[in-house]
Structure 1
Amino acid sequence: MKEQKTYPRTFSHIGITVPDISAAVEFYQEVMGWYVIMPPSEVKKEKETAIGKMCIDVFGEDWNSFEIAHLATSDGIGIELFSFPETPSTKPVFNPFNPGLFHFCVQDPNIEALIAKIVAYGGRQRMPIREYYPNDKPYKMCYVEDPFGVVFEIYTHSYELTYSSGAYTG
């Protein structure tokens, strides 16, 4: 019996926990240009609504309330921001060697301007801007972090263009 091929799923959204949801919404709206599709709202632990039940399923019983906001990128990817009363204001320890998600990536052809804006709004440039194909193609990348310590990467060109050209084969 022939197995049916798996089709590539689309990316829907990513959830990010931040210590200050209002500051995070401002950063991602002003710096990244993402649309606010639901401003910060409070969710309380309760079992009467679908969202209350879902949050208990996800977070367990050891919480009372949190704030949530929803943003969207220009290509429809959702950014779900969470802020819990017990969320520490300290930045997370960056450790890409541990299992799990350690960054996401955005694309902007003007990488220098975006990095400058990230830094101006309290973020950080983690490395120099690097070129995948120096003196050949203008594909650049850089790791940065937001003011809350969330690490992400910036590409100047699409994922497909960057890697279909053999970025690691020189």
Structure 2
Amino acid sequence: MSQRVPVVRGIDHVGVTVPDIESATAFFRDALGADVLYDTRRREEGPRTGRPVERRLGLPEGASQVAVRMLALPHGPGLELFEYRSSGQREPVVPSDLGWQHLAVYVDDIDEALAGVEEAGGARVGDPGPLPGAEAGERNRMVYTRTPWGSTLELITYPDTQPYEEHTPRRRWRP
């Protein structure tokens, strides 16, 4: 049985859920030299809630996405910070726990890579869709999937210029 293997270019970013996005930004800036690239969701916009968000991201019912920010490390993948509110929110994992918040890998072909994930025993959370706001572009897309043990793996591609690039000389890592 042959298995489809996608072309993975490298780690695009690592998602980290934090209790307060401003405090976490200060920590990563001070500890690791991270720079803020852009906010995908600002707190003042109000939270993202409802069934479409829950389905796309695999969130429990009633969870809300309060803020999302992309940081750039001096060398290497980005750090995407998430601030959520949920009545069922658990304490952060410790090293002996399995999984990560999500790991994103840059791929050339989302559909081919998604087929490979499913063939290997993973599952899609939703369907591939366009990247929003500061990441938008005609061919810029993403899809969340789950590994066989339940961790979230994002497949992402952004071959087109992103709107944030007009406002800052700093760039996120690109293969």
TM-score (normalizing by structure 2):
0.41
- Structure number, greater radius of gyration: 1
